[in-house]
Structure 1
Amino acid sequence: FCLLNPLNPYAATVAAAEFLVKSYGESFKLPYCIIRLCNVYGPRQHIEKVIPTFITNVLQGEKLKIHGDGKQIRHYLYVDDVINAIDIILNKGKPKMIYNIGTSNELNVLDIAKYILEKLHSNQQLDDITSYVKARSFTEKRYCTTTSGLIKSLGWKEQVTFD
């Protein structure tokens, strides 16, 4: 059991969606499970997300826009690991369960920017190419998903680290 405590409008809509799925499942005797994910990254990710945005900006010589101090911590899970987890849940999971799919890849925005500069062999210094803007009013300092024992018991394990 996990008590939901959404602290911003986006989190509230996600919590509402979970309750809607559960209520339909229970009301109409439909099988369901709920999968909670952390931030997913990988090929064909939406360009407005932090990783593809930073890569594009570095390659185009543009500044990296950092909201707040850049120390907001998030978990990042590679898309292939997510696909594998969902496949395992579909084939081995039990109905009416909640599966948390997390990772050990805990990074802040500045770590991601430094990593991208390093991987793209950029000789630019982070301080020279960052532009700090006001933090979003609803940004949490730390948002991470811990992998539940349920998904581990089905045999899932993260395969790709952020490195």
Structure 2
Amino acid sequence: IGPRLNHGVIYDFINKLRRNPHQLEILGDGTQRKSYLYISDAISATCFLFNHLVKGAVSDYEVFNVGNDDWVTVNEIAKIVVNEMGLKNVKFVYKPATPDGRGWKGDVKFMLLDISKLKSLGWNPKLTSYEAVRRTTRDLLKEILGK
């Protein structure tokens, strides 16, 4: 995630709150947990792995998960967006599409990559998922609202 993002939960929440700053519709029950990686960390990991490939420290066809090793919930994302927009007393309205609280059929309830192999080589993301979401929210607010 990062600047110029034009889809996804952060983008959707900002636009929903622009239309109605008093209420936010949340697809699902808000407990969905996912890992988020800021674009600069994704680039860092790619360059890190390329350098290890050039040095012969990893093989040509070796597979690595690139991501973050923590997560945030959709509820936490909603609170971050509301806070960064400077809104107060926003009512969250949940719209689960499935009995287990998913936002739509095919929605992933929990997503966390195992990045231990990449970390064992010495790479770590600089931003947590929470920080990545907050920074992306700030990026998008600057782009969309000029804030």
Q: How many residues align?
A: 119
Q: CA deviation at 1:58?
A: 2.0
Alignment of 1:66-145 (within 5 A): 66-93=26-53, 94=58, 95-127=60-92, 130=93, 132-134=95-97, 135-145=103-113
Q: CA deviation at 1:133?
A: 4.8
- Aligned with 1:55 (options 3, 6, 14): 14
Q: CA deviation at 1:157?
A: 1.2
Q: CA deviation at 1:143?
A: 1.4
Structure 1 counterpart of 2:126, which letter? Q
Query: Where does structure 1 lack aligned partners over 5 or more consecutive residues?
Result: 1-40
User: 1:126 and 1:75 mapped to 2: Cα distance?
Assistant: 25
Given that residues 33 and 110 in structure 2 are in contact (C-alpha distance below 8 angstroms), is that contact kept between their aligned partners in structure 1?
yes
Identical aligned pairs, as a percentage?
Answer: 29
Given that residues 25 and 95 in structure 2 are in contact (C-alpha distance below 8 angstroms), is that contact kept between their aligned partners in structure 1?
yes
If the length of structure 2 is used for normalisation, what is the TM-score?
0.70
Q: CA deviation at 1:73?
A: 1.0
Given that residues 70 and 112 in structure 2 are in contact (C-alpha distance below 8 angstroms), is that contact kept between their aligned partners in structure 1?
no
Counterparts in 2 of 1:55 and 1:105: CA distance versus 1, 3 Å: farther
Q: Identify the range of structure 1 (100-109 vs 67-76) with the bigger mean alpha-carbon deviation.
A: 100-109
Q: Identify the range of structure 1 (88-97 vs 60-69) with the bigger mean alpha-carbon deviation.
A: 60-69
Q: CA deviation at 1:91?
A: 1.8
